[in-house]
Amino acid sequence: MVNVAVAGGTGGVGRTIIEVLDSSHHQGFTFSRKPAENQEQTPNQSFITADYTNIPNLVTTLETLEIHTVISTFAVKGDSLATSQANLIEAVKISKYTKRFIPSGFAISSLQTLPQPKDYFSALSTLQASNLEYAVFTNGIFLDYFAPPGCSILESYLKPNVFVIDIANRVAAIPGDGDVPVWPQQGEEGFRVVGHEISWNRFVRMGEDVLGSKFEVHYDSIEELKRFEIKELPGHQTLYAHFPKKAFQWFMSIFELFTADGNSCIKREGTLNELFPEIEPLTVRGMLEYWRDQ
Among positions 4, 17, 18, 52, the unique one binding ligand NAP when judged by CB under 6 A: 52
Min dist CB 152 to ligand NAP, Å, is 21
Pairing mode of beta strands 3-7, 27-32? parallel
Among positions 10, 69, 126, 264, the unique one binding ligand NAP when judged by CB under 6 A: 10
Mention every residue, 6+ apart, whose C-beta is less than 8 A from residue 126: 86, 89
Comparing CB distances to ligand NAP, the nearer of 191 and 208 is 191
Min dist CB 246 to ligand NAP, Å, is 19
Among positions 19, 22, 63, 79, the unique one binding ligand NAP when judged by CB under 6 A: 79
Among positions 17, 141, 164, 171, the unique one binding ligand NAP when judged by CB under 6 A: 141
Write out the binding residues for ligand NAP, residues 82-101 only, by CB under 6 A. Answer: 84
Among positions 27, 61, 73, 264, the unique one binding ligand NAP when judged by CB under 6 A: 73
Min dist CB 53 to ligand NAP, Å, is 9
Among positions 29, 74, 101, 215, the unique one binding ligand NAP when judged by CB under 6 A: 74
Q: Is 284 in the site for ligand NAP (CB under 6 A)?
A: no
CB of 74 closer than 8 Å to CB of 218: no
Min dist CB 114 to ligand NAP, Å, is 9
Nearest to 17 by CA among 151, 156, 143: 156
Comparing CB distances to ligand NAP, the nearer of 159 and 218 is 159
Nearest to 101 by CA among 86, 119, 82: 86
CB burial string 42-76: b at 16+ within 10 A, e below:
eeebbbbbbebeebeebbebbeebebbbbbbbbeb
Min dist CB 291 to ligand NAP, Å, is 19
Min dist CB 138 to ligand NAP, Å, is 8
Q: Which stretch binds ligand NAP (CB under 6 A): 31-39, 60-68, 176-184, 195-203?
A: 31-39
**For residues 76 and 247, what is the distance between their CA atoms, to the nearest angstrom?**
14
Residues near ligand NAP (CB under 6 A) are: 8, 10-14, 32-34, 52, 73-80, 84, 104-107, 139, 141-142, 158
